[in-house]
Amino acid sequence: MNIGYYPGCALHGSSNDYEQSLRACMNALDVRLEEIKDWICCGATAAHSLNHKLSLALPARNLALAERDGFEQVFAPCPLCSMQLLKVKKAIADEKLRRELAETVEAGLQGRSEILNLIQLFEKVGLDRLKAAVKAPLESVIAACYYGCLLTRPPDVVHFDDFEQPKMMEAVLAALGAKTVEWNYKTECCGAGMTLANEDTVLDLACKILSNAAEHGANCLVVACPMCHVNLDMKQAAVERRYGRKLGMAVYYLSDLVGMALGLSAEQLGVDRHFVTKA
Amino acid sequence: MDALREAALARNCVPPESLPIILFQKEFLENIRRNGRLGELELIGRFKAGVAIRTGRLAFLLKDARLAPQLSKRKKLHFISEKAGDRAVVQRIFARCSKPSEP
Amino acid sequence: MSRIGVFTCWCGENVARTVDVDEVAKQVAAFPGVRCSVNYKYMCSDPGQALIREKIASEKLDGIVVASCSPHMHLKTFRKAAQAAGLNPYLVEMANIREHCSWVHHDRAQATAKAIEIIRLSVEKARNDFPLAPIRVPVTRRALVIGGGVAGIQAALDIADAGYEVVLVEREPSIGGKMAGLSETFPTLDCSQCILTPRMVEVGQHPRIALYSYSEVEAVEGFVGNFKIKIRQKARYVDVSKCTGCGDCWNACPLKRNPSEFDYGMGMRPVIYIPFPQAVPARPVIDKKTCPKLIRNGCGLCEKKCKAGAINFKDEDKVVEENVGAIVVATGYKLYNIAKEQPKSALAGYGEYGYGKLKDVIDSLQFERLVSASGPTGGVLKRPSDGAVPKSVVFISCVGSRDNAKGLPYCSKICCMYTAKHAMLYKHKVHDGRAHVFYMDIRAGGKGYEEFVRRAIEQDGAMYYRGRVSKITEEKGKLIVRGADTLVGAPVTLEADLVVLAAAMRPADGVEELAQKLNIGYDEFGFLLESHPKLRPVETNTAGVFIVGACHAPKDIPESVAQASAAASKVQVMLAASELTRDPEIAAINEQTCAACFTCVRACPYHAIERAEVRTPKGAFVKRTARVNPGLCMGCGTCVSVCPSKSADLQGYTDQEIYAMVESLA
């Protein structure tokens, strides 16, 4: 399988452990990720908060580049990137807007590529294939699957899973032999890109998420978003300090668990680079 | 909500507690305009300096400083950040999107 | 030579302000065929009508044109006036120089000129009119009522008490509808069954009401005054003529744990069951989906226990025919299904409330059963998960209603009232309990309604929060309800033992298929369409079919009862004469020129055209032809426009008349 790969700024920045995990995992599954040449930032929260035109133009440029490279499918591991790409893809159904954007980004723009998030990528690989490739079933994992807000919402843009009670990440984990818990903060926001600018809110939200996962019997969290990972993993120590409680919840990327089930080591997947590691 | 944010900013009627957030977003966009992709250290530096100067809270500069060695240990700290190849087109895109909006 | 009289009305200032009525009268007098032309301030008034009658007599007029307002207003008035003077009422034309002229223009000269042209057309038509006689249709003096809820019961009783036979068809095993399952009704807090069951018994015992319970209307043919109905009586597997209702069978049934439909799943019933003790008819029915005897020839205990020998496992559906003259549709409502799966994808549910996943999140009808004295918990409010008495209950209004995103933009009208009632009933039962209501607005417009809601807040201590609920989750056996209190301006999080959702009212299942059988219209939500929302709220556009109750729009019990009596009185008007008269402005087919292509038969939206034969008096076959049924035709003119041989024409609006009008303008 040859898939267009749009890493986004986080994965080539301080969340490069996510990219390490992805590449190791996809390698083991024989999925070739070809990075889109010369991609640019998707604009993230800053663009859509401050400048509507820019928030369409930046992801539009990346869609156009993917088309130029001939990719029918584009994998965007960061849900903010994938949501922006899907948003502009939906918007260019309007022919007038499509032509305007094509001019603005100086490239032909058809919007025909399929955008995939990490969970959808595993579904493309096939859960049966995944199950068959498992070498070390994750018997000690009791995971709380954390979707955050951007994977499933807005539902009329991302069309991904049941946006109130999503289940697709759990399905992947079931194929790996792991157990999952039912808990109440699956789709609550973690604070996303507010880590630096509004730390209080992020810590408050992260505390609720981590505590609720623990209360429902989970021994780890699984995410598919680099910002969620930062807020729950890197900031966990700050949460513990602020609210005076011990959490000790390891936070894995979904690709970490898939990789481990396939027999890859923690070092190969970059799990040793997380802040909270299993004792 | 985004439309309301843009309108509020245009009229300069924003609550004071949101100033750090707006500053962050503005620095973010300026950063991408120059580099094509986000340069994290540059963004953090300029953001913290901006907030410290505007609010007089110099301690803000040093907050989370202890995270720096931790990040470095985990090879997450990039002193020279990645830049996009064709940066000029990014600047042109920004220029086109920053024209005062027509109906 | 025609002798047309033109009467131009000032309509007070409405016409005269913009149109020079004197000039009009003068110019019109010069039209060919016009015998006299006058104008007057108010043609519709008594002196105005007297003027018309006087002129018809003195000038020997053979047709009149009244130039005034829209025919919707006063056509009947002027027709009666003409008839009183001995002129055929269908030789009366109205030229609309108000809605079509004076009300939409400002320029006096241009408006006057236009008014004159409008009258020219009408004069030309009047010259080509020919007299018509009203059509008489025989009437079967019986009525059909579809649906045995409180509206259907009221309509049936009113019509039957007036002396006509009524056929009442109800698809559940018992009549009573939703009202039979309610605990107490607002604003009096009467026990619902106590006030309804006497009516139900009256229906069951009425000498002129034929009750078909556990039955459905399968097919409808015919037209107003002459409907032929096919009714499918579903197999009960119990012979109602032998059964005494003793209850030995349902007590003996070993499979007692099937979710009860009457209790909306809050209680259980056996496989052979009576829906509730006061059922009319008080005869059980066997659920063929779960009965082991019917599925694989097992059990059969009830048959052995029955002393009257009334159990009949060989029972089959029966189709019965009834003839009626009028149909009243009273099929009622169901609640919006809040769980995620929806028949139409536009109606996506409220997953965030956890209905269907969290046992203690229920809807309002389920709550009614839990507090009803004859309910599955004997009137003690026990929550479904563990049977505990809830100490804190949250009521959420507008679940589905008033929500464009969920596809139901309308207000369900009764929920504000019944939520206040629920809060009161809860506080009456659990004195130290806390009742919380999340609302958007309080709609309490009926008699005594506002006072009722104030009572709930001021006397019974219900806490009202103006805001919506964003999410309900469960933590350690308690429901965490997160909402907003917009009057205070802050989010509010409550712990509840039970949550009751006031789900939207929607028309009952199957109403769209029934509407198609009856040829009546329904809107995008399935509510049946009335003829005119202000002035004809119980009639439909299909003559002889009336709608009452919640199938028309969300409404409460007093309105349903009032509407039912209204429809009953309309039915009585219809059935009072042995013949119906209809306006003769309907289509007619020239059978000599008809080519029998039957395009009109296919095009007619009212299925009013039949394939017929022309025969000699001796009975020899001459040709095939299309023939209009004068009882069904509504005069829409579709057949006239599709007929290739110009054999179809509209009486009173013939092609010749229309061409004459058009040519007169040239």
Of C236, C493, C499, C497, nearest in space to C361 by CA:
C499
Q: Hey, are the CB atoms on B38 and A41 less than 8 Å from each other?
A: yes
Residue C658 lies in a domain: no
Chains C and B touch (3+ CB pairs under 8 A): no
End-to-end CA distance of chain C: 21
Residue C660 lies in a domain: no
Lowest-pLDDT choice from A121-125, B9-13, B51-55: B51-55
For the cut 80, the answer to whether the pLDDT of residue A30 exceeds it is yes
Q: Hey, are the CB atoms on A273 and B44 less than 8 Å from each other?
A: no
A chain contacts of residue B74, beta-carbon cutoff 8 Å: 17, 273, 275
C339 touches chain A (CB under 8 A): no
CATH number of C630's domain: 3.30.70.20
Report the distance separating Cα C606 and Cα C222, nearest Å.
10
A chain contacts of residue B71, beta-carbon cutoff 8 Å: 14
Q: How many interface pairs between A and B have CB atoms less than 8 angstroms apart?
A: 111
| Band of residue C166 on the pLDDT scale cut at 50, 70, 90 | very high
Residue B86 lies in a domain: yes
Examine the domain organization and report whether C345 and C271 are in the same domain: no
For C476-480, what is the mean pLDDT? 93
DSSP string, C307-352: TT--B-TT---EEEEEEESEEEE---EEE---SS--SSGGG---GG
Give the E-state strand segments of C524-600 in sequence order. Answer: 545-547, 579-582, 587-589
Residue C665 lies in a domain: no
Q: Hey, are the CB atoms on A163 and C351 less than 8 Å from each other?
A: yes
Residue B47 lies in a domain: yes
List, for residues C526-568, the tens digit of each pLDDT value.
999 999 999 999 999 888 999 999 999 999 999 999 999 999 9
Residue C657 lies in a domain: no
Residue B88 lies in a domain: yes
Residue C172 lies in a domain: yes
Q: How far is A167 from chain C (nearest CA, A)?
A: 13
Residue C69, pLDDT score: 92
For the cut 60, the answer to whether the pLDDT of residue B101 exceeds it is no
Sign of the CA dihedral C152, C218, C572, C567? positive
Residue B102 lies in a domain: no
Report the distance separating Cα A76 and Cα A79, nearest Å.
7
Q: Hey, are the CB atoms on C352 and A215 less than 8 Å from each other?
A: no
Residue C621, pLDDT score: 94
Q: Which A positions 192-251 lie with beta carbon below 8 A of chain C?
A: 212, 215
User: Which residue in A17, A38, A50 is closest to B25 by CB distance?
Assistant: A50
User: Which residue in A164, A212, A215 is closest to C352 by CB distance?
Assistant: A164
Q: Hey, are the CB atoms on A194 and B92 less than 8 Å from each other?
A: no
Examine the domain organization and report whether C342 and C485 are in the same domain: yes
Report the distance separating Cα A242 and Cα C289, nearest Å.
60
Report the distance separating Cα C269 and Cα B100, nearest Å.
70
Residue A193, pLDDT score: 87
Residue B103, pLDDT score: 43
For C459-479, what is the mean pLDDT? 95
Residue A205: both structure tokens together? 């939200």
For A8-23, what is the mean pLDDT? 93
Q: Hey, are the CB atoms on B36 and A196 less than 8 Å from each other?
A: no
Examine the domain organization and report whether C501 and C377 are in the same domain: yes
- Strand pairing partners for A253? A223
C358 touches chain A (CB under 8 A): no
B101 touches chain A (CB under 8 A): yes
Report the distance separating Cα B11 and Cα C607, nearest Å.
64
Residue B40 lies in a domain: yes
Report the distance separating Cα A116 and Cα C212, nearest Å.
58
Residue C345, pLDDT score: 60
Examine the domain organization and report whether C326 and C311 are in the same domain: no
A chain contacts of residue B92, beta-carbon cutoff 8 Å: 106
| Band of residue C343 on the pLDDT scale cut at 50, 70, 90 | low
Last residue of a domain, one of C102, C128, C154: C128
pTM (global) more than 0.90: no
Which are the contacts of C292, defined by CB distance < 8 A and separation ≥ 6? C255, C271, C298, C299
Give the E-state strand segments of chain A in sequence order. Answer: 2-5, 32-35, 73-75, 114-116, 142-145, 179-180, 220-223, 250-253
% residues pLDDT > 70 (chain C): 98
Output the average pLDDT for chain C. 93
Range(s) of the domain holding residue C250 = 235-316
Examine the domain organization and report whether C574 and C638 are in the same domain: no
Cis peptide before C89 (omega within 30 of 0): no
Range(s) of the domain holding residue B20 = 2-97
- In order of A76, C546, C560, the CA distances from C179 in angstroms are 55, 21, 11
> Containing H/E element for A226?
helix A226-229
User: Which residue in chain A is spatially nearest to B31 when comparing CA positions?
Assistant: A41
| Band of residue A181 on the pLDDT scale cut at 50, 70, 90 | very high
A chain contacts of residue B26, beta-carbon cutoff 8 Å: 46, 50
Examine the domain organization and report whether C300 and C352 are in the same domain: no
| Band of residue C36 on the pLDDT scale cut at 50, 70, 90 | very high
C475 touches chain A (CB under 8 A): yes
User: Which residue in A37, A105, A197 is closest to B20 by CB distance?
Assistant: A197
Residue C398, pLDDT score: 94
Q: Hey, are the CB atoms on C352 and A162 less than 8 Å from each other?
A: no
Domain tally for chain C?
Answer: 5
C512 touches chain A (CB under 8 A): no
DSSP string, C453-468: HHHHHHTS--EEEES-
Q: Hey, are the CB atoms on B32 and A40 less than 8 Å from each other?
A: yes
Q: How far is A110 from chain B (nearest CA, A)?
A: 18
CATH number of C354's domain: 3.50.50.60
Residue B103 lies in a domain: no
Examine the domain organization and report whether C273 and C300 are in the same domain: yes
For the cut 90, the answer to whether the pLDDT of residue C92 exceeds it is yes
Examine the domain organization and report whether C265 and C195 are in the same domain: no
8 A C-beta contact, residue C427 and residue C460: yes
Report the distance separating Cα C39 and Cα C23, nearest Å.
10
Of A103, C72, A144, C284, nearest in space to B89 by CA:
A103
Residue B100, pLDDT score: 64
Residue B8 lies in a domain: yes
Residue C666, pLDDT score: 75
Distance of alpha carbon C528 from the chain centroid: 5
Examine the domain organization and report whether C357 and C293 are in the same domain: no
For C260-270, what is the mean pLDDT? 94
For C258-281, what is the mean pLDDT? 94
Q: How many CB atoms lie within 10 A of CB C67?
A: 31
Q: Hey, are the CB atoms on A163 and C475 less than 8 Å from each other?
A: no
Q: Which B positions 22-41 lie with beta carbon below 8 A of chain A?
A: 23-26, 28-29, 32, 36-38, 40
For C411-421, what is the mean pLDDT? 96
Q: How many interface pairs between A and C have CB atoms less than 8 angstroms apart?
A: 14
| Band of residue B81 on the pLDDT scale cut at 50, 70, 90 | confident
B55 touches chain A (CB under 8 A): no
B81 touches chain A (CB under 8 A): yes
Of C662, C472, C463, C564, nearest in space to C153 by CA:
C564
Examine the domain organization and report whether C300 and C402 are in the same domain: no
For the cut 60, the answer to whether the pLDDT of residue C592 exceeds it is yes
Q: What are phi and psi of C85, to 5 degrees?
A: -90, 5
| Interface mutation vs chain A, best among B24, B48, B94, most A CBs within 10 Å | B24
Q: Hey, are the CB atoms on B29 and A47 less than 8 Å from each other?
A: yes
| Interface mutation vs chain A, best among C475, C478, C480, most A CBs within 10 Å | C475
| Band of residue C651 on the pLDDT scale cut at 50, 70, 90 | very high
For the cut 60, the answer to whether the pLDDT of residue C160 exceeds it is yes
Of C296, C270, C317, C280, nearest in space to C204 by CA:
C280
Task: Map out the domains of chain A with their CATH numbers.
Answer: 2-118 (1.20.1050.140), 133-273 (3.40.50.11810)
Place of tokens 């130039």: C67
Q: How far is A70 from chain B (nearest CA, A)?
A: 19
Q: Hey, are the CB atoms on A162 and C357 less than 8 Å from each other?
A: no
Lowest-pLDDT choice from B31-40, B67-76, C340-349, C393-402: C340-349
Residue B64 lies in a domain: yes
Residue C341, pLDDT score: 60
For C213-238, what is the mean pLDDT? 94
Helix, strand, or coil (residue C105) = coil
User: Which residue in chain A is spatially nearest to B38 when comparing CA positions?
Assistant: A9
| Band of residue B102 on the pLDDT scale cut at 50, 70, 90 | very low
Examine the domain organization and report whether C82 and C166 are in the same domain: no
Examine the domain organization and report whether C166 and C218 are in the same domain: yes
- Strand pairing partners for C220? C229
C chain contacts of residue A215, beta-carbon cutoff 8 Å: 475
Domain tally for chain B?
Answer: 1
For the cut 90, the answer to whether the pLDDT of residue B79 exceeds it is no
Q: How many CA atoms lie within 13 A of C618 on its CB side?
A: 1
| Band of residue C263 on the pLDDT scale cut at 50, 70, 90 | very high
Q: Which A positions 39-98 lie with beta carbon below 8 A of chain C?
A: none
Distance of alpha carbon C453 from the chain centroid: 29
For B44-71, what is the mean pLDDT? 84
List, for residues C133-153, the tens digit of each pLDDT value.
988 888 999 999 999 999 999
% residues pLDDT > 70 (chain A): 99
For the cut 80, the answer to whether the pLDDT of residue A53 exceeds it is yes
Residue C459 lies in a domain: yes
Q: Hey, are the CB atoms on A46 and B84 less than 8 Å from each other?
A: no
Residue C664 lies in a domain: no
Residue C347, pLDDT score: 62
Residue C661 lies in a domain: no
